[in-house]
Amino acid sequence: MNFTTDSSVTNVVWVHQQLIQAFPGALVTVTDTRKDDQHLSVHIITALFKDVSLIQRHRQVYSALQGETGYRVHALSLCTQTPEEAS
């Protein structure tokens, strides 16, 4: 299913689904910070971020969203952590 053209799927749901697929086993939380489905906050906790720089983590997240930020989502705030960092 192509969520880009499916307007019945909210951005919160779409972003969550994309990130769960890209980061298997991760704890992913997506919050609509302004209740407009355009300003989202993402918190991802995964062991896949171990020994990965903050910039690379963010690049991985943006890559998983297939360039849809700015199109589907106006603003995206990221918190990317390993399980050790989150505890």
Residue 53 has pLDDT above 70, yes or no: yes
Q: Give the tokens for residue 60.
A: 């991985």
pLDDT tens-digit map of 57-81: 999 999 999 877 778 888 999 999 9
Q: Please report where in the chains the tokens 């299913």 appear, as a residue.
A: 1
pTM passes above 0.85 = yes
Strands 39-45 and 27-32: antiparallel
| Cβ–Cβ < 8 Å for 65, 47 | no
Q: What is the pLDDT of residue 6?
A: 60
The vertex-86 CA angle with 69 and 34, nearest 5°, equals: 40
Local structure of 7: helix, strand or coil: coil
Local structure of 14: helix, strand or coil: helix
Domains and CATH numbers, the chain: 30-86 (3.30.300.90)
Q: How far does the chain reach from its first CA to its final CA, in angstroms?
A: 36
What pLDDT band is residue 38 in, cutting at 50, 70 and 90? very high
